[in-house]
Chains A and B, each alone.
Chain A
Amino acid sequence: MNRYLSIFGTFARACLVRDMTFRANFILECVTSLGWMSMNLAFYLLVFTYTPEIGKGSGWSKAPFFAFVATGLIINAIVQAFFMPSAEELTEMVRTGGLDAVLVQPLDAQFLLSLHRVDFSSLANGLVGVGLLAWALGRMDHTPPAITWLLYPLLLLCGVAILYGLVIMLAAATILMGRNQSLYDFWFYLTNFSRYPAEIYAGPWGGPLRTVCTFVIPILLVVNVPARVIAQPLTGEAWGAVAAAVIAAIASLIASRLVFQRALARYRSASS
């Protein structure tokens, strides 16, 4: 465990050195990801000039909604910073045979492949997320109870764990298919569902969609559960959601491990 931590430290340091070597690029990356985010925020502000809340009676008026958005920013920043760059590179490694070099090293392949690159610029969004959360909390009618401060970080971690599991399973698909350019697209489209409050998925189509995205691919639990805990009253239903998020996180981690192991066993290596 200690060894893995220190190896991860080395990875992180190496990536930081790299980022600092190409400093201009690093700053540009921070700026673009901040720009992307502020653009989304501007869009939400625009939407709120036309409506008091998202979904009638859903409770997602302006301030709670921005708390929701902030939660999403924090979770996605963590995943984008620590897991996505490695997973994306995996596609390239499978194609060029770089994965071979990983497999001969006496280290857990999943660890190495999911953490060997850290993208520090993505953390910028997370910091803005924290600021936005503070802003939104100050503007809400509802004051979260004390237990929230325990639950919220835990649920953030659960959200990260669920997404991590999905990233790894997608990466495993990359290994099996030998090539998968659409990994990032797929990821974008999948996580897209988690960007808005689950309440918007209503009606004859929305209902089943909500069920699938909660229980089959638990993408709706990622942001919704922590956001709901911090921005809405803690009802019995909310506690159910908390339990679901914890279970989904554990299941996601276990499933990803199994899938990844199977994928490695079937890896065929690029011909040289």
Chain B
Amino acid sequence: MAEATHIDVSYVAHLARIHLTEEETALFQGQLNQVLEYVEQLKELDVTGVEPTAHAMSLVNVLRADEPAPGLDHDTVVDNFPAVRDGQVVVPKIIDQS
């Protein structure tokens, strides 16, 4: 059963922008495999007739009217930016795509 579950830790770490050492990668590889094996146990449940759901709550349509509400004060927001120019956050040069 464990054979079917494998996480490519270096790849996932890259996607999450986490830098791992080789030791950490090996360590988490083992730990995450165990987590997956544990989750695999769910497969033993018979879910015949159970509707798939994306949410644990049975509520739907939690909506709000299209009416403006006050947000944050500009100065407060800007104070949180690590670097500011013209009221905007300065980030490393964005190269391509959107």
A pairs with B: no
State the A residues within 8 Å of B (CB).
none
State the B residues within 8 Å of A (CB).
none
